[in-house]
Amino acid sequence: MAIDLNAKVPSGPLAQKWDTHRFEMKLVNPANKRKYKVLVVGSGLAGASAAASLAELGYQVNCYCFQDSPRRAHSIAAQGGINAAKNYQNDGDSIWRLFYDTIKGGDFRAREANVYRLAQISVNIIDQCVAQGVPFAREYGGTLSNRSFGGAQVSRTFYARGQTGQQLLLGAYQALEKEIAKGTVRMFPRTEMLDLVVVDGRARGIVVRDLVTGAIDTHLADAVLLATGGYGNVFYLSTNAKGSNATAIWRAHKRGAAFANPCYTQIHPTCIPQSGEYQSKLTLMSESLRNDGRVWVPKAKGDTRAPDQIPDAERDYYLERKYPSYGNLSPRDIASRAAKEVCDEGRGVGPGGLGVYLDFRDAIQRVGKDKVEERYGNLFEMYQRITDEDPYRVPMRIYPAVHYTMGGLWVDYNLMSTIPGLFVLGEANFSDHGANRLGASALMQGLADGYFVIPYTLGDYLARSAGMAPVKADVPEVKATEAEVRAHNDRLLGIKGKRTVSSIHRELGKVMWDKCGMAREKSGLESALGSIPALREEFWRNVTVPGSGVELNQSLEHAGRTADFLELGELMCRDALHREESCGGHFRVEHQEAGEAKRDDARFCYVGAWEYTGAGKAPALVKEPLAFENVHLATRSYK
Amino acid sequence: MGGTGSGKPMNLTLHVWRQAGPGAAGAMRTYAATDVSPDMSFLEMLDVVNEGLVARGEPPIAFDHDCREGICGSCGMMINGQAHGPWKATTTCQLHMRAFSDGDEIVVEPWRAAPFPVIKDLVVDRAAFDRIIQAGGYVSVNTGNAVDGNAVPVPKTDADAAMDAAACIGCGACVAACPNGSASLFTAAKITHLGHLPQGQPERHRRALRMVTQMDLEHFGGCSLFGECQQACPKEISIDAISRMNRDFVVASVMQAEERQVAGAG
Ligand SMILES: Cc1cc2nc3c(=O)[nH]c(=O)nc-3n(C[C@H](O)[C@H](O)[C@H](O)COP(=O)(O)OP(=O)(O)OC[C@H]3O[C@@H](n4cnc5c(N)ncnc54)[C@H](O)[C@@H]3O)c2cc1C
Ligand code: FES
């Protein structure tokens, strides 16, 4: 039976949909809120903001994260900034323009109504964060500063030095800690969700493992929110934190939540290139650097001269040449592909020719070293620590790396998945970025979902579900789910084969990068659809997980996550194969025009959501058609 | 950036604290780290050692880590007696092996402080830090309560000073480095961050009072202004924050005493 993808977009004009909907949604009266229990899995921007806001309203909240403190969620690593349509710069920004830039940036593969709401809410986010004491950058007059990010011609990005994610997360974390102190939130750090409990078709709880003692337990509630972040680590090497994983969303998928657009992956153009086989992660150099850095490679193939020996006339500033109106601030998918192209032509620099220059020479000449240091000092230091090169003197070498996943669990306008009572927030859902996310928009979306959307839509769900019977811990669904989790862990511990988890995860990552990375092709995807199941078999036959399940066991944690990546990776390739067009981050070699992505709106103007149909069975594709009523479906051009 | 790495692979000897679980007896164990590239991070070096251990069926060395970019504050270990090792302003995950030379012996231990009990090997429990924040490290403003972001101008110097203190990653190096095991730099960093901003003023004194009290309740030691914390801090938080905290705390204590008197008189 195919699932129903009703997006529940409110009727009425675009600009009034959210207001109308807010008025029409049912409310839970304050005395009743106390009776509802909500589980928030994740303490990143989306999870922490949701947990704090819901607790403030009076709900009983449990919040979970796998790190030792909610403050360490992966959101902490975001560097560059957060967008908002404040138009403080008087440079022509507006809610409409942010909406339009985001829809266009996403290559017309996102839902109009969601994106418009995001742009509307963006302005409230900045206000809320300022009120919490987030130390945003300021001008001498005391007003908030802005910078520019890719895919926009206005300056609408708010930032706190190179640590915007850190400061926004600490704001949300502090709001969360304030509620924990009041007893309205119970925090479960070092706790991993391993399954979703579904009773009578509704999400009613989760099975968790205490990562210190290994104890497995079930927590029951009236609704479950997943804010567990993205799945970029399916590629092994990515800019994500080492622990970022797909387990929560993948296991929810296997319980019935449709997975939308899994193949939409963002490859970020400016990361530090890999230096060796032991490499454990890739480090992002913020997009903000492209405000002042110029990207180039030598015009000639195989030019091995030191960069300062190559005169300007022999350099190819290819982004400025190909995209004169956006230049170095072209969107990420375009900048990444352009880098790959010049490297494929043999014009790449550094070891293996897998790099391009990001050069600050001209900026230093124009504004001085001090100014450049003030803007990017911490990033330059990080670069130097990792590479042992001084970017004030030698241009940075950068290369694209996996950074963000636009795909995720399918949600309707209310952020509810196809399982009633299961809501999905932040990077874990698929909602707002279409086939490519613009810089500084993930932080905006995570906080919009958590502070300003879920407090309303969750209340509506609970009010409409009044009379839902409490679930008892001994109902068969609860017992069965917990038993399956235990069996899964025991199986992992029992294989005692010869290969480490990392070696298999790395191998999966290589297949994904080669076949489902920056450029995808039918033959490559088909070969991956053969090699991934084979690797999965190898994993279940030959992996070794030392230790036991009743202790802190990082190998077991990694094994469980890798097992899920081995399934998700296959679905990503399947999705990429079925989408016979190029759009945003999804570039099919067969579908291009003069080197640019070629969309096929007649056949693919839809969200592709996959339904799990059982182990070893092909998943079913369900489509949510996308209707563009307010913007004209145009070919994206940044020329 | 220091370091004497020559670009060539190195062979090192590690002495690592191994402890099976909370309360278990621990001991130093010796491991060879061979063929270490100077371009590896310290944690990547440990990854390679761990791969070897797992392949031999031995339990790998447990350590906390996540971002590996020096921002989440997860990682942290004493390396040759120094919190986060020899590089200034650098977390363990950002320390690179070019800081060492072929043949070096490296001693690796967990943070040592009573309020940070060892969970396993190099992993410690830092929940006390969260409880200090719970005591008052926030602005009590509920979602939806905010005025326009530009309604209250904040002088750039104040915003910058707030940001300097707000850069704390909560790793615990300050506690580990302090001879008294004091959490003063951590606590003061939050008090200073919020104290520099207009939004932080209404709760300024209550915050100082409650956070300092909590710090004591957690059995962190007192501050003797040794300054080791500032040296070890990967974010170079200045010890000046502690003087500021002490001032706020004294004012708050006086105010509280006065309030009690008034209440008593009434
Ligand atoms: C290096 C870097 C820089 C970035 N810079 C920017 C930027 O400048 N601007 C921008 O807009 N975006 C940026 N992004 C993207 C942005 O940071 C993320 O998309 C966003 O922070 C995700 O937030 P989140 O709340 O959805 O998830 P996360 O912050 O990833 O949080 C996930 C949470 O879920 C928990 N969790 C996960 N799985 C489980 C489980 N099974 N059980 C229990 N808990 C679990 C984790 O413990 C964590 O608390 C950047 C990303 C990276 C990698
Ligand atoms: S792992 Fe995040 S700071 Fe070191």
**Cα separation of A554 and B136, whole Å?**
33
Residues with Cβ within 8 Å of B134's Cβ and at least 6 positions away in sequence, in order, are A177, A178, A180, A181, B214
Q: Does B107 lie in the same domain as B27?
A: yes
What's the pLDDT at B4?
A: 39
Q: Which of residues 281-310 of A touch B (CB under 8 A)?
A: 281, 283-284
Domain annotation covers residue B4: no
Counting ligands in written order, the one closest to the CA of A241 is: 1
Instruction: State the CATH number of the domain containing residue B109.
Output: 3.10.20.30
Is the Cβ pair A135, B163 closer than 8 Å? yes
| pLDDT tens digits, one per residue of A356-381 | 999 999 999 999 999 999 888 889 99
- Closest-CA distance of chain A to residue B98, Å: 9
Report how many domains make up chain B: 2
What's the pLDDT at A313?
A: 96
CATH-assigned architecture of domain A267-402 = Alpha-Beta Complex (3.90)
Residue A136 DSSP SS3? coil
Residue A392 has pLDDT above 50, yes or no: yes
With contact defined as beta carbons under 8 Å apart, do B220 and B128 qualify? Answer: yes
Q: Does B134 lie in the same domain as B82?
A: no
Is the domain defined by A476-605 classed in CATH 1.20.58.100? Answer: yes
Q: Does B158 lie in the same domain as B114?
A: no
Instruction: Tell whether the torsion through CA atoms of A618, A231, A426 and A332 is positive or negative.
Output: negative
Q: Give the Å distances, CA to CA, from A245 to A65, A263, A553, A563, B29.
A: 12, 16, 16, 11, 32
Q: Which residue has the tokens 């590629």?
A: A235
Instruction: State the CATH number of the domain containing residue B210.
Output: 1.10.1060.10
Closest C-alpha to ligand 1, atom 11: A440
Kindly state the helix (H) or strand (E) to which residue B134 belongs, with its residue range.
helix B127-134
With contact defined as beta carbons under 8 Å apart, do B141 and A132 qualify? Answer: yes
Residue B265 has pLDDT above 70, yes or no: no
Average pLDDT estimate for A463-483: 94
Is the Cβ pair A552, B74 closer than 8 Å? no
Q: Does B101 lie in the same domain as B165?
A: no
Q: How confident is the prediction for chain B on average, in pLDDT?
A: 95
- Is A202 catalytic? The answer is no
**Cα separation of A202 and A430, whole Å?**
21
A323 in contact with B, Cβ within 8 Å: no
ipTM of the complex: 0.96
Domain annotation covers residue B213: yes
Q: Delimit the CATH 1.20.58.100 region(s) of chain A.
A: 476-605
With contact defined as beta carbons under 8 Å apart, do A121 and A82 qualify? Answer: no
**Cα separation of A441 and B194, whole Å?**
26
What is the C-alpha radius of gyration for chain A, rounded to an integer number of angstroms?
A: 24
Q: Does B108 lie in the same domain as B200?
A: no
Least confident of A167-176, A239-248, A463-472, B114-123: A463-472
Which residue is catalytic, options A72, A204, A290, A332?
A: A332
Average pLDDT estimate for A75-88: 96
What's the pLDDT at A1?
A: 54
| Between A240 and B3, the higher pLDDT residue | A240
Site to probe by mutation for ligand 1, drawn from A65, A185, A195, A247 as the one with most ligand atoms within 8 Å of Cβ, is: A65
Q: Which residue has the tokens 């449709």?
A: A258
Q: Does B190 lie in the same domain as B60?
A: no
From A246, A558, A613, select the one nearest A408 (Cα to Cα). Answer: A246
Domain annotation covers residue B2: no
Domain of residue B113: give its range: 10-119
What's the pLDDT at B3?
A: 41
Q: Does B103 lie in the same domain as B78?
A: yes
Average pLDDT estimate for B185-209: 98
Q: Does B162 lie in the same domain as B92?
A: no
Residue B139 has pLDDT above 80, yes or no: yes
Strands A356-359 and A396-405: antiparallel
Q: Does B78 lie in the same domain as B133?
A: no
Q: How confident is the prediction for chain A on average, in pLDDT?
A: 96
What's the pLDDT at A403?
A: 97
From A132, A121, A60, select the one nearest A431 (Cα to Cα). Answer: A121
Average pLDDT estimate for A489-512: 97
| pLDDT tens digits, one per residue of A148-176 | 887 888 999 999 988 999 999 999 999 99
Residue B5 has pLDDT above 90, yes or no: no
Q: Delimit the CATH 3.90.700.10 region(s) of chain A.
A: 267-402
Average pLDDT estimate for B169-190: 98
A421 lines ligand 1 (CB under 6 A): no
Chain B positions touching A133 (Cβ under 8 A) are 138-139, 162, 193-194, 197, 199-200
What's the pLDDT at A610?
A: 98
Q: Which of residues 341-400 of A touch B (CB under 8 A)?
A: 381-382, 384-386, 388
Chain A positions touching B147 (Cβ under 8 A) are 127, 131
Q: Give the Å distances, CA to CA, from A266 to A219, A235, A285, A400, A438.
A: 34, 12, 15, 10, 10
Nearest residue in chain B measured CA to CA from A58: B142
- Closest-CA distance of chain B to residue A426, Å: 17
Average pLDDT estimate for A549-569: 98
Average pLDDT estimate for A226-246: 98
- Closest-CA distance of chain A to residue B237, Å: 14
Q: Does B212 lie in the same domain as B247?
A: yes
Compute the distance from residue A606 Cα to the ligand 2 centre, in Å. 39
What's the pLDDT at A276?
A: 87
Record the pTM. 0.97
Q: Does B83 lie in the same domain as B133?
A: no
With contact defined as beta carbons under 8 Å apart, do B41 and A51 qualify? Answer: no
Residue B1 has pLDDT above 70, yes or no: no
Q: Which residue has the tokens 């999804």?
A: A586
Q: Does B94 lie in the same domain as B37?
A: yes
Residues with Cβ within 8 Å of A91's Cβ and at least 6 positions away in sequence, in order, are A154, A155
What's the pLDDT at A288?
A: 84
